[in-house]
Amino acid sequence: MGSLTRTIGNSFTTNGVIKSSAIDNTTLSNVSALPAAIPAGSMVLLSTQTASASASISFTSGITSTYKEYMFIFNNIHASTQGQFQFQTSTDGGSSYGVTLTSSFFQAEHYESGSSTFFGYNTGRDLAQSTSYQNLNGADLGTNNDDNFCGALSLFSPSSTTYVKHFIFQGNVNDYDARCTTSYAAGYFNTTSAINAIDFKMSSGNIDAGTIQMFGIK
């Protein structure tokens, strides 16, 4: 049986390389379909919103069972008033925001002057079975012309009706006190209802400028 297998294999390959004689019009005509061109893990841009003195930016469509992960990219968020950039989710298409969540939060910071550094857990930014908005800045975003915030938030399996909904965030802010503050947050929305909308806003004032992109992750 082994010799027969080798004989058949040698008629198609030489040292593991497919022979050109093994491929002809007949073999190609039997191919009925090609595999999908988008590989697993690809980012598909679904929506982009640009802030302009916006009280909030909401995504109320496109969060469906099509993707198991949704990623939101924040580019150059600028605030009109010193404060925290925050988010919450909805199970009713954005009619209300306030899904119960529990989270953890830690940060690293370094002053522009080099005078001080910090790394540790921030108990003022985590939530425990709360319906409040989750803060995403370790220190407040300032309002100087060059103050801004960038980061990425991943929301996993929002359409599941079996499990709670996890999120992970990482971002960086040039804060009000001339510090580089890098923030890490993670948690879960304690609901088995499908999450189908998400809202971003400042803790006070407007989102003066910046863009938020929503991607589906294949």
Q: What does the pLDDT look like over 4-57, one tens digit per residue?
A: 455 545 555 565 555 556 556 555 556 566 555 555 669 999 999 999 999 999
Instruction: Count the helix, strand and coil residues of the chain and give each as a percent rounded to the nearest 5.
Output: 10, 50, 45
- Residue the block writes with tokens 């802030």: 51
With beta carbons less than 8 A apart as the criterion, state whether 86 and 205 touch.
no
User: For position 65, what pLDDT does the model report?
Assistant: 97
pLDDT range class, residue 82, cuts 50, 70, 90: very high
- pTM (2 d.p.): 0.81
Which helix (H) or strand (E) element contains residue 6? helix 2-10
pLDDT tens digits for range 135-154: 999 999 999 999 999 999 99
Of the CATH numbers 2.60.40, 1.10.3470, 2.60.120, 3.30.1490, which one belongs to the domain with range 43-217? Answer: 2.60.120
CA nearest 214: which of 53, 80, 40, 64? Answer: 64
